[in-house]
Structure 1
Amino acid sequence: MTDILVLGAGYTGVAAAIRTAVRTRRAGGRVRLVNASPRFTERLRLHQTAAGERLADFPLEDVVAGTGIEFVQGRVAGLDVERREARLEDGRVLGYDKLVYALGTVTDASVPGVADHAFVYDDYTGTVRLSERLAALTSGSVVVAGGGLTGVESATEIAEAHPHLRVVLLTRGRPGSMMGERARAHLDAALERLGVEVRTGADITKVLPDAVELAGGELVHSDATLWTTGTRGLPAAAESGLTVDARGRIVVDSALRSVSHPDVYAVGDAAAVSQRFGVLHGTCQGGIPTGLHAADSLAATLRGRTPKAFRFGYVHQPISLGREDAVIQFTRPDDSPRRWYLKGRAAIAYKETVSGSPIPTFRLLKRGLVPVWVFALSAGLG
């Protein structure tokens, strides 16, 4: 038997675990999946949870049922990559022969006050606390820090669900700056329509209990602050001796193995994956393909074969703008914008198709099938 331990049960970890179980079953693989929460969190939809929407509940034991995967509930406290052991907060120690590290990233709380006074999307329970805070406000201001995809989706979702609240989006650059001009124009119009106050050129120096401080000393009043700018890998990776990059992500080779400890595979946001156009940035779009490729690499290694090199190209930048609007920017493989984009109802339909519940994808993986969209992303586009 080969003991395979998968740490983290987000989109990428679950996909990696199921694919690994299927591909290594005949080679004697035993897969255990470790996660702090017993439920699968649709992290792509946390902005909806923040705005008050209750999403479907998916117990992880049900998600992996029928695969032979053993689910272990527990929070990872540390790794010993020399002894090949993972230590959980409750003291349990899990040994492994091969490890798939899919613990993702956490919010970069290096700006003073973020850890103490801001809400973040690091987990489901923290997002529910934000939802409860917003529901309790009969008036006041909500500050969303960060003008990337997550910040824009959160600001528009909250503004639509709580029209009695003032929503301020603070960003250094233009919201949706990675998109093409026409897609950005639609995004700007949606922010204006929903009454979101956009402050560009905002350099936040401190988060206070009831305000956000900008460079120069200006205070922007806030009854609830959501921080969506900047992420880092969990300290466990660097502390274990694994080679990591400046953001704490595990540096991997073309087979998605750690460059310092090849028995460790890193996937999703937790991995620094290099392609010809640069290092992948963390999205579900790239996450699930890395999880599947790591599983295939691991299975090939157990069979004494040489793993194939991971190749990937981006396809789109989908942004919801509340429940009644969206914009999709189609991209080149390096994530730069193409001319084509969708808006309005067409964009909503497209986003629901590609960013809907991953449960159907997991069901296909259990049958040994790979969704067509994964082939499109990983067919040498990088």
Structure 2
Amino acid sequence: EIPNPNPRIVTMREVLETEDWKQAGGKLPLALGRAIAGEPVVADLARMPHVLIAGATGSGKSVCINTILTSLLYRYPPDEVRLIMIDPKMLELVVYNGIPHLLHPVVVEHKHAAKALKWTVGEMERRYKLLAANGVRSLQDFNVRVRKGESLKDPTAGGDEEAEIRPLPYICVVIDELADLMLTVQQEIEEPLARLAQMARAVGVHLILATQRPSVNVITGVIKANFPSRLSFQVSSKIDSRTVLDMNGAEQLLGNGDMLFLPADRAEPIRIQGAYLSGEETARIVAFLRQAAEELGAEEVAPPVDIIAEASELEVAALDERDELFVTAARVVVDYDQGSTSLLQRRLRVGYSRAARILDQLEQAGVVGPPDGTKPREVMIGEDELESLEAL
């Protein structure tokens, strides 16, 4: 490797002005930067179909997220691409609040992040039902039929009756700091992340996860297996490089946007100098989109959705449909005089998610009390109340 005596910044604008970008035929093209030989690198998020981004502080990770978002905002109106942004650091993505592409204001609360992902899983399932009812296999085929004006069925709107159906936009979920969420709400977000990564591609839902701490506690086996496309900036050790890319190399990168891009269809990574987008440019882009939304009344084209409230309603509905092991679980917690997810997992031989849902149902029914840190929950009923519950 020969050092360049006069390193040059690769700007976002120069990549967007290239013929490679203008003629990019992908469904969701992303302008990443320039390769070693100087040619522009344009990737297709729809083919990735999800991407994991890792890099130490100051390596260019946050700028890369901004260039990815700008690529989408530059090419697509809000009725074609919608965004869900989760920013536990409350610094990087909140600048995008107010743009019409956002399904919901940028999520900063950890518990709300889990609900946002659960809402996305619910939307994925709704789309699968919609596609299955109309005999199509992909989002693109469905949207073609909608634009042709064909009569389509919507089983999610109360039966298979014909209803007015709009084209479905792509949904991109962007999480800027996965490590922070994995420390606090890992049990609540890992399952929906895995489900989305495994199934969401066909219905136009794509994930972009970023972390500055690429350890195995953050990038777990479940997450890694479902994110075949990876972007690594400079990391602190060979171990971190192997965690992200399954090979050494990222620890030798130079920082300032120097990255290794490992697409799903390649065995060797591509070295790229990432496109640079300043904070001032990002602010101007956001201001332009906000102003355009006000002038065009974009809420009618792409109305915002209160995904947190809808996710809460879905949780309540799930609690109302009591699990078939509900009464057995009530008997277990009364017999042991304590309630915990691990107890239900052992005694009922069920997985964590189902045990946690049953415990929530027991709390709603007044069988156990609310959670108290790491302590088991207090049992609120005795044998008499349990017998009347079993008789229902």
Q: Give the shorter-chain TM-score range.
A: under 0.3
When normalised by structure 2's length, the TM-score is 0.25
Bigger helix share = 2
Bigger strand share = 1
Q: Over alpha carbons, which structure has the higher Rg?
A: 2
